[in-house]
Amino acid sequence: MSINLKQAYDLFISSREEYCQDTTISNYKNTLRYFLSFMEEHRGVPVKEIDIDTIDKTDLSAYTLYLREKPKFKNHPFNTELKSPISKRSIRTYQVDVRTFFNFLFNEEYIKKELTKKYKIIKAESKVIVPLSVDDVAILDGLYNPKCEMGLRNLCLIHLMLDAGLRRSEVINLELSHVNFDHNYILVVNGKGSKDRTVPLAPRLKKMLFKYAIAYRPACDHEYFLCNGNSDNTKLTENSIKMLFSRMIKHTELKRLYPHLLRHTFATAYIMQGGDLESLRIYLGHTDISITQKYLHLATQYGTLNYDVYKLDKKFFRRYS
């Protein structure tokens, strides 16, 4: 029984919804949307009329060429199209997700041919990571008033990444019950790879979170720690964080700023201040220590340069007998 491209897409998304996080599903929908749009343009018919078994390696090669020439933000629902091409990193992301899509179809026997066996994935350029310095963080902190709801919420958001190493999605999904003020730890539930972990709650971050939870967090019909601050006080969203960082970039000289840089800063600072690699792996929620080892290289590099990286609380470096 043959299916069309739209049905194949629906089957793939449905399968991923069984175990992937909402952000992962959203990413798949976004990246595969470009592939479906390309195939409609390439074949000149709607995706519902494209038999999945008629797609071959020449289509995938043509898609890669299309991505190389595609202007940034083309067909994006919100942003204005730019003349510059999309980055190699983005092309790689689109290719990897298409490969995952067709591997799923082959493994589930929806298609007969293994299309991606020799599908060449472009190498992404290495991105230079420059962690935030003490002065950089002082500039960010100075943007927000800790004596008002939204100011303190923004500071909590920033320092959950910076002083606890949380990912953006983990900040969004943090619940009130996950912050243990009595025993000074944060429980990260269902992090990347569906793993749970605990991270020490540093005193200055504790003070910030406690004040927000007690004095400023509005009454909500959900248990998520941070709220959007709109009229119905909904859960914080990915888009809220994107807009917040866009505003921070606009009002500072920190053009290299992006959410994950705060987590990079946490990890680099931890090693530079004497922390060990295995403890950092646990705090970050990495399965493989080889992923964590890049921070050893960053710490060595910036330590040699005497770079004044942001300082973590001494709580992280206490040793108990």
Q: Could you confirm whether 295 is annotated as catalytic?
A: yes
Active-site choice (260, 294, 297, 314): 260
Q: How far apart are CA 196 and CA 194, in angstroms?
A: 7
Active-site choice (263, 264, 283, 310): 263
Q: How far apart are CA 59 and CA 297, in angstroms?
A: 40
Q: In this structure, are residues 315 and 202 in contact, taking their beta carbons and an 8 Å threshold? A: yes
**Which of 268, 272, 5 is CA-nearest to residue 131?**
268
Active-site choice (70, 159, 167, 168): 167
Looking at the chain, which runs of residues are DSSP E strands? Answer: 179-180, 185-188, 197-200
Q: Could you confirm whether 256 is annotated as catalytic?
A: no
Q: Could you confirm whether 68 is annotated as catalytic?
A: no
Q: In this structure, are residues 14 and 64 in contact, taking their beta carbons and an 8 Å threshold? A: no
Determine the 3-state secondary structure of 224 from DSSP.
strand
Active-site choice (88, 92, 192, 211): 192
Q: How far apart are CA 287 and CA 280, in angstroms?
A: 11
Q: Could you confirm whether 192 is annotated as catalytic?
A: yes
Residue 301, number of CB atoms within 10 A of its CB: 12
Active-site choice (9, 63, 295, 302): 295
**Which of 240, 289, 253 is CA-nearest to residue 138?**
253
**Which of 277, 267, 276 is CA-nearest to residue 298?**
267
Q: Could you confirm whether 178 is annotated as catalytic?
A: no
Q: Could you confirm whether 264 is annotated as catalytic?
A: no
Residue 152, number of CB atoms within 10 A of its CB: 20
Q: In this structure, are residues 285 and 197 in contact, taking their beta carbons and an 8 Å threshold? A: yes
Active-site choice (119, 206, 286, 302): 286
- Helix H or strand E encompassing 160: helix 149-162
Q: Which residues are catalytic?
A: 167, 192, 260, 263, 286, 295
